[in-house]
Amino acid sequence: MRDVGLESPIGERVFEGSGQTAAGTSQAWESRSQCSLCGSLPSHWAVFESRPSGEGLLTYVLCRVCGLVFMDPKPTEPALTEFYAANYRVQVQGQEGPTSKDRWAQKRRASHLLDLARPAIPKVARHLDIGCSLGELLDAFRDRYQCESLGIEPGEAYRELGRRRGLNVFPGLESLPAEFRSRIDLISLAHVLEHLPEPVEFLRRVRRDWMVPGGHLIVEVPNLLCHPSLEPSHLTAFHAQSLRWTIEAAGFRAVRIKTHGRPHSRLLPLFVTVLAQAAGTGDFAERAGSPVRGLRLRRRLGASLLRNARGLSRLLLGRRQLRPWEP
């Protein structure tokens, strides 16, 4: 049962204030007009969960058409840009530079994602990691495939650390050199998609503008049904079904979907990882059956399982085993 005591990676006070300010900007919140996955209107949404943040509430709604859970209202694009450029790391981990926990998790996550990709992807010429952080994932795939590596990292301190390691790291997609358009055959987003206000549109854009036909995509997100994923910087919360539909709506075909706990747990389904391949233009189509039946109950059961696992781990293993990144 080693490592099942996952701690929430960020605190509650990220976007401060009562809903009028966020990330240091004014009038920084806006209401959504439609679901980013299926396009349904607010009349088809229901409040899923509300959480305190600063002096106000963060509200997550459930789309009763497709089962997607997302924050509404959400921070504006200028607020998000400013937040991730300078404030995110300080607020979530107490410092701009990497912590020992961050390095530990990134290295082991890179190993896990490489293990997932190896059987399905025989070769890679160019790899783009969006949200590359320190560059551990880029290094792992470059060593395995001898490929050209590119990274996107909005955080200034982490971007500079990546460049010191010899990686080509850029602040955003708009700053990628035009020579790479339609020439990247593997794009990865590890714990990035949940931070994006329009995940389907973003994935469509990277497929259309940057990926070769038939290129591969790797996405990993927290699992809404077990992970404490409704956190202030997470604008969308996924479970396996809604992530698969998001991938398909963006024009990808899921090759493999895996729920797992690596690197934090061998038992708990804390994360969802999808390996997919570009397959067409993409669109959301109505599916048979209810995508939302029992979703709240399943989340409550997952949260109970996580609490019990934490308590049992502390009892059997002690604090040191729950924090393997500490010396």
Supply the pLDDT for residue 90.
Answer: 64
Q: pLDDT band for 95, please (50, 70, 90 cuts).
A: low
- Alpha-carbon distance of 27 to 57, in angstroms, equals 16
- The answer on pLDDT for 169 being more than 50 is yes
What is the model's pTM?
0.87
Q: Is the pLDDT of residue 15 over 90?
A: no
The ranges assigned to domains in the chain are 98-322
Residue 2: pLDDT above 50?
no
What is the structure's pLDDT at 92? 67
Q: 119: which 2 tokens?
A: 């059987």
For the chain, how many helices (H) and strands (E)? 9, 15
At CA 193, angle to CA 188 and CA 196, rounded to 5?
Answer: 130
Look up tokens 């976007």; give the residue. 15
| pLDDT computed for residue 93 by the predictor | 65
Which residue matches tokens 């669109």?
Answer: 283
Q: Residue 18: pLDDT above 50?
A: no
Give the per-residue pLDDT at 144.
97
| pLDDT score recorded for residue 47 | 96
Confidence band, pLDDT 50/70/90 cuts, at residue 269: very high
- 210 or 102: which leads in pLDDT: 210
Distance CA 124, CA 167 (A): 17
The answer to whether residues 5 and 322 touch, using CB atoms and an 8 Å cutoff, is yes
Query: Looking at the predicted structure, is the pLDDT value of residue 12 above 50?
Result: no
What integer pLDDT is reported at residue 55 of this predicted model?
Answer: 53
The reported pLDDT for the residue numbered 116 is 94
201-243 pLDDT, tens digit per residue, is 999 999 999 999 999 999 999 999 999 989 888 999 999 999 9
Q: What is the CATH number of domain 98-322?
A: 3.40.50.150
Does residue 184 surpass a pLDDT of 60? Answer: yes
Average of per-residue pLDDT across 23-31? 64
Paired sense of beta strands 211-222 and 271-278, if any: antiparallel
* Mean pLDDT computed over 174-195: 96
pLDDT, residue 45, reads 96
E-strand ranges in 86-210 read 126-130, 148-152, 168-170, 184-190
Q: What is the pLDDT of residue 155?
A: 83
* Average pLDDT score, the chain: 85
Q: Measure CA 66 to chain center.
A: 19
Percent of the chain with pLDDT over 90: 60
Q: What is the pLDDT of residues 108-128, one digit of tens each?
A: 999 999 999 999 999 999 999
Percent of the chain exceeding pLDDT 70 equals 82
Tell me how far apart the alpha carbons of residues 26 and 102 are, in angstroms, rounded to a whole number: 31
